[in-house]
Amino acid sequence: MAPFKSGYISILGRPNVGKSTLFNRIIGEKIAIVAERPQTTRNRILGIRNVEGGQLIFLDTPGLHEGRSELNRRMVQTAISSGREADILLFIIEAFSPLVEEDQWMVKSLRETKGLPFLLINKIDQVRKERVLPLMDQYRRLHPFEKMIPVSALTGEGVDILLEEILKSLPESPPYYPDEVFTDQTERSIVSEMIREKVIHQTFQEVPHSSAVTIESFKEKPEKNLVVIQGTIHVEKDSQKKILIGKGGQRLKKIGEAARKEIEAFLGKRVFLELWVKVEKDWTRDPRALDALGYSPR
């Protein structure tokens, strides 16, 4: 019988290259929120995929970027530290994006980590295959990647091959988590992120990057198959609060309705959701506010 394998796989790359989409596809559950706006993922998120002969523990991380605010710096610090603890590093690029200076900086940062580096060329469903080979050659000259695998996180193309190669490369180890566990995120944290995703989808300008969500109350009522949730959306300015609430409260209502439907599907129960909006002046720059809102660096 082949030995059992387990290990940690960190998903790294620039903002908006498809890290969370790939993460959710592999895990088979929507744990990480997805949006077209960059820097959507803020914390390290752990997801577990059990396969025959192994347990694959994936770490979805914030996009590597130049951190200007304290929040941005903490996000980058979280991504880098997650890379240091992993057995395998999945460095994701887009199949249609040329190699730029920022990519070179990120690839160089891999040299400080112990994990085996894999290069994933994502979004191959959007380009002709002949465009991928020259890009792979460029990265091959830049760094000795263990594997180079074209994938499409959106369609799933190449993902099975990726999982096979990961399992081959992981160390022999018993599983770290029970079979029934698929994430270390609490229901409250997943719910708060689902609400933040709807804020991002419903708002424009600077509100998405200046919003955070906390769950103030999460009460289950089994006799009614109901969960009563109260949450607060935090923003930095009064003007952002007005945008979020909208005329006659219509935008906040839309956010709540969209979030409630997704939360009900996730929990498998009816949900009563109440949302408030609170101004926390310049919270993205305030270390104490960041700690209070759950953005402590890992």
What is the rounded CA–CA span in Å between residue 40 and residue 62?
8
CB atoms within 10 A of CB 248: 8
Domain map of the chain by residue range? 5-169, 187-292
Residues 252 and 277: beta-carbon distance below 8 Å = yes
3-class SS at 39? coil
Q: Over 50: is that where the pLDDT of 29 sits?
A: yes
What confidence category does residue 286 fall into, taking pLDDT thresholds of 50, 70 and 90? confident
Model pLDDT for residues 220-274, shown as the tens digit of each residue: 999 999 999 999 999 998 999 998 999 999 999 999 999 999 999 989 999 999 9
Q: What is the pLDDT of residue 65?
A: 44
Fold of 5-169: Rossmann fold (3.40.50)
CB atoms within 10 A of CB 288: 8
Q: Which residues of 197-217 are buried (b: 16+ CB within 10 A; e: fewer)?
A: bbbbbbbeeebbbbbbbbbee
CATH match for 187-292 among 3.10.105.10, 3.40.250.10, 3.30.420.10, 3.30.300.20: 3.30.300.20
Q: What is the pLDDT of residue 297?
A: 58
First to last CA, the chain: 38
Mean pLDDT over all residues of the chain?
Answer: 84
Q: Over 60: is that where the pLDDT of 74 sits?
A: no
Cβ within 8 Å of residue 148, ≥6 positions away: 118, 119, 121, 136, 139, 140
Count of residues in the chain: 298
Q: 294 to each of 45, 190, 213, how far by Cα in Å?
A: 13, 13, 10
3-class SS at 8? strand
Q: What is the pLDDT of residue 63?
A: 55
